Chains A and B, each alone.
Chain A
C-alpha cells in the first residue's frame, strides 16, 4: 500500500522523527509512506508529488493546516484526484475541537478560529483521528500517530553524565509544568549537576513569535531560570533529540496543559523512555498506567513531595532503570511504528 502524508515537515520541530520512522517501517512491511512534496537533496525523508498511485492520503495537522510544500494547485490535485473515501485527517494538536482554554494554554485564539479549523478538516475528509484515548468529539477516532522505535534504545546509565536533568522540547505553553518540575528540584539543586533545556523559547521569546502575535505562548521566568542556573541549548534536528536526552540522568516528560487535559500523546511520550535516561512523568497516573503500564506510576511526580521523588530517582537509578526497561518492552510491543503502519493500513481498508 502506498500512503501519502500531507504534512508541514520541519527538521527541528513537530513530528519529523515519527514521519521518518513511518517511511522506514512501511518499507519493512512491504508498504510505502512518502511525504507530499519535492525531494530536497540530502534529505533523510522520502518526498514525492506523485499521488495517482496513492491508496490513501493522510493530512497530518499540527500547528497549521497549510502546506509546507505546495500551494492551491497542489491542493486541487490532492482533493480532485484522490477520492474522499481515501483521504483522512490526523489532528495531532487537539485543534479539531471547540475552543478550549486550560491554564493559559489553548487550542484556538477564538471560536471563529476553531470553526475555521473544523471546516478545513471537513473539507478534506469525513474521517478524523486524534492521538488520544479520549477524543472529545464523537466523530473522532483514536489513532496515536506517534510511535516507538526499539532502535532508539540506549543503555541507561547515571554515572558520568554531563547533566543531571535535560529537557528536549520548545517552551511553547510549557512554562507551567516546567516551573513545577524546577521548583521540585530546589531542595536538591546543588547536588543535581547541570540542567539543560533544549529547544527554542526558553531563554527568550523567539523573534518570529512576536510577528505571529503569539509571544505570550512563550512566557517563562528568566530570573528564576537564572537563579536555578539553567543552561539553554537552541533547537536541534530531530536526529539529535534522543542523544540530547541521554546526556541527562533524568528527563521530565511534561505536556502542554491542553495536551494533558485532552490526554494526547506526543513524540516525546515514546522517545523519552528509549533514551539513555530515566523519564520522570509530570502526568496523571491513570494516563501513565494506560500508556506505560502500572509499574511506570512509580516514575510519576506526586503532587506533594515531588522533590523527594526526584531525589529517590537520582539516588536509586538502577532500580528505576529496571522499570524503564519494562516500559520499553511494553512500548515496543504495542506502539512500534510497524504496529502504527498496520493500523494505518487497517484504517484505509476499513
Chain B
C-alpha cells in the first residue's frame, strides 16, 4: 500500500516523532510510505509532493498550519478520492467547544477559528476522522491512539530493576544531573507541574531540575497580549529549585534531554486529560532513561499502560512519592520495565500501523 502523511512536521512540537515511528513501521511491514514536503535530512523517510498514486493519504492535524497551502491542498483534495483520505485529529478540534480549566479545544484568540470551521474542514478533507483517545465523544469519530511505543528507541535497556536503579542513582543520585527533567512546551502544563515542583522543594538534597521547551522562562508576551491563561511560571520557585531552563529541542533530542533526569513527568493538558487523549510523550517517555512520573488519572493509566504502571502515578502524598522515587528507585524501575514490556506488546507502531489500515479499509 502507498501511504502519504501530510502534516507540518514541526520539529519541537506536534507529532513528528509519532509520524516517523508509524511511517517506519509501515515500511518495515512492506508498505510504501512518504511524508508530504521537501526532503529533510533529519527524517529518515522519503518525502513527496506528488498528489496522485496514493492508496491512502493521512492528514495529521494539531492546528491549521498542518494543512498545506496552495497548490498542494488543492491538488490533494481534487486528485485523491475522499474515501482514501483520513484525518487524525490530535487536539480534539472535531468537537464542539470544550473548556477545561484554562484549556480549550478551540482557542479563537490564537488561531481565529471557531468550532464549526474545524468541523467543516475535517468533513471536507477526510472520509474518516480519528482521534488519539480510547473514548471519542462523537459517535462518528474512530478511536485510534496513533502515538506509540518504539522499543528500538529505548535509551538504555536493563535486565533488572536493580540494575537500572544502580545505574541511575548509585546510592545518592550522583550519576544524574537533574532530579527531574521535563521536556515539553509550557502550554497548559503549569497547573499540573507546579505541585510536583513544590513537592520537590520539600525534599532535602535534591539535584536541580530541567525544563526543556518553550515559555518556561516567563509568561510569554503573546499569551499576555491575547489574554490567554494557562501558560504561567513561578520564577521564584524555579530559582529555588535551581531550574535549568532550556529552549525547545527537536524531536530526535527529546529522549536525551529526558534522560538527564532521574524522573521525567508525563503531563497531559487539562483538555487532553478530560478527553483521554494521548500524545507522543505518553509513550515516548518510557523510552527515556528515567522514571516516568505519570500525572494522569489512575483508571486511564491502568487502561493504557497496564496495571504494572500504577506505582508510577502520583498517588497520595506527592512529596512522599517523589522522595521514594529518588531514594529507592528500584521499586519504580520494576514498574517501568514491566510497563515497557506491556507497551511493546500493546502499543507498538507496527500494531498502530495495522490498526490504521484496518480503519482506513473499513
Contact A76 B78 (CB under 8 A): no
A49-B117, A84-B78 known; A75-B124 Cβ under 8 A: no
A65-B70, A71-B65, A123-B70 known; A77-B121 Cβ under 8 A: yes
* Interface of chain A, main secondary structure: helix
B120 at the A/B interface (Cβ < 8 Å)?
yes
In whole angstroms, how far apart are the Cα atoms of A70 and B70 in the complex?
A: 13
Most chain B Cβ neighbours within 10 Å, of A52, A76, A80, A119: A76
B47 at the A/B interface (Cβ < 8 Å)?
no
Pick the residue among B65, B74, B111 that contacts A79 (CB under 8 A). B74
Contact B67 A75 (CB under 8 A): yes
Contact with B along A147-161 (1 / 0, CB 8 A): 000000000000000
Within 8 A of B (CB), among A70-107: 70-77, 79-81, 84
B342 at the A/B interface (Cβ < 8 Å)?
no
CB nearest to A84 among chain B residues:
B78
CB contacts (< 8 Å) of A76 on chain B: these are: 67, 73, 77, 121, 124-125
In whole angstroms, how far apart are the Cα atoms of A74 and B125 in the complex?
A: 11
CB nearest to A80 among chain B residues:
B124
CB contacts (< 8 Å) of A204 on chain B: these are: none
* Interface of chain B, main secondary structure: helix
Q: Whole-angstrom distance from the CB of A163 to the nearest CB of chain B?
A: 43
Pick the residue among A73, A80, A84, A122 that contacts B113 (CB under 8 A). A73
Within 8 A of A (CB), among B105-160: 111-113, 117-118, 120-121, 123-125
Pick the residue among A49, A71, A81, A120 that contacts B124 (CB under 8 A). A81
CB nearest to B116 among chain A residues:
A49
Contact with A along B275-316 (1 / 0, CB 8 A): 000000000000000000000000000000000000000000
Contact with A along B255-287 (1 / 0, CB 8 A): 000000000000000000000000000000000
B251 at the A/B interface (Cβ < 8 Å)?
no
A136 at the A/B interface (Cβ < 8 Å)?
no
Contact A38 B70 (CB under 8 A): no
Contact B69 A119 (CB under 8 A): no
CB contacts (< 8 Å) of A52 on chain B: these are: 120
Q: Whole-angstrom distance from the CB of B106 to the nearest CB of chain A?
A: 12
Contact A123 B121 (CB under 8 A): no
CB contacts (< 8 Å) of B68 on chain A: these are: 72
In whole angstroms, how far apart are the Cα atoms of A120 and B75 in the complex?
A: 9
B64 at the A/B interface (Cβ < 8 Å)?
yes
CB contacts (< 8 Å) of B69 on chain A: these are: 72, 75
Chain A's interface size range is 20 to 34
CB nearest to A70 among chain B residues:
B112
CB nearest to A77 among chain B residues:
B121
CB contacts (< 8 Å) of A123 on chain B: these are: 70-75, 78
Within 8 A of B (CB), among A35-87: 38, 49, 52, 65, 70-77, 79-81, 84
Q: Whole-angstrom distance from the CB of B36 to the nearest CB of chain A?
A: 12
Contact A73 B70 (CB under 8 A): no
A124 at the A/B interface (Cβ < 8 Å)?
yes
A80-B124, A123-B75 known; A75-B117 Cβ under 8 A: no
CB nearest to B124 among chain A residues:
A80
Pick the residue among B65, B66, B71, B125 that contacts A80 (CB under 8 A). B125
How many residues in B have their beta carbons less than 8 Å from beta carbons of A? 24
Q: Whole-angstrom distance from the CB of A62 to the nearest CB of chain B?
A: 15
Contact A122 B77 (CB under 8 A): no
CB nearest to A76 among chain B residues:
B121
In whole angstroms, how far apart are the Cα atoms of A76 and B111 in the complex?
A: 15
Contact A120 B71 (CB under 8 A): yes
In whole angstroms, how far apart are the Cα atoms of A73 and B113 in the complex?
A: 9
Contact A72 B112 (CB under 8 A): no
Pick the residue among A73, A116, A120, A122 that contacts B67 (CB under 8 A). A73
Most chain A Cβ neighbours within 10 Å, of B71, B73, B74, B78: B74
Q: Whole-angstrom distance from the CB of A304 to the nearest CB of chain B?
A: 47
In whole angstroms, how far apart are the Cα atoms of A124 and B77 in the complex?
A: 10
Most chain B Cβ neighbours within 10 Å, of A70, A73, A77: A73
Within 8 A of A (CB), among B72-93: 72-75, 77-78
Contact with B along A204-245 (1 / 0, CB 8 A): 000000000000000000000000000000000000000000
A77-B117, A77-B124 known; A72-B74 Cβ under 8 A: no
Pick the residue among B72, B75, B121, B123 that contacts A73 (CB under 8 A). B121
CB contacts (< 8 Å) of B125 on chain A: these are: 76, 80
Contact with A along B170-211 (1 / 0, CB 8 A): 000000000000000000000000000000000000000000
Most chain A Cβ neighbours within 10 Å, of B65, B70, B73, B78: B70
Pick the residue among A38, A72, A120 that contacts B65 (CB under 8 A). A72
In whole angstroms, how far apart are the Cα atoms of A242 and B233 in the complex?
A: 55
Most chain A Cβ neighbours within 10 Å, of B67, B68, B118, B123: B67
Q: Which A residues fall within an 8 A CB radius of B? A: 38, 49, 52, 65, 70-77, 79-81, 84, 116, 119-120, 122-124
Given contacts A72-B69, A79-B74, A81-B120, 15 further A-B pairs with CB under 8 A are: A71-B111, A72-B66, A72-B67, A73-B118, A75-B70, A76-B125, A77-B117, A80-B125, A81-B123, A84-B78, A116-B71, A119-B71, A122-B71, A123-B70, A123-B73
Q: Which B residues fall within an 8 A CB radius of A? A: 64-75, 77-78, 111-113, 117-118, 120-121, 123-125
> What are 19 inter-chain pairs, A to B, with CB distance below 8 A?
A71-B111, A71-B112, A73-B64, A73-B113, A73-B118, A75-B69, A76-B121, A76-B124, A76-B125, A79-B74, A79-B77, A80-B77, A80-B125, A81-B120, A84-B78, A120-B70, A120-B74, A123-B73, A123-B74
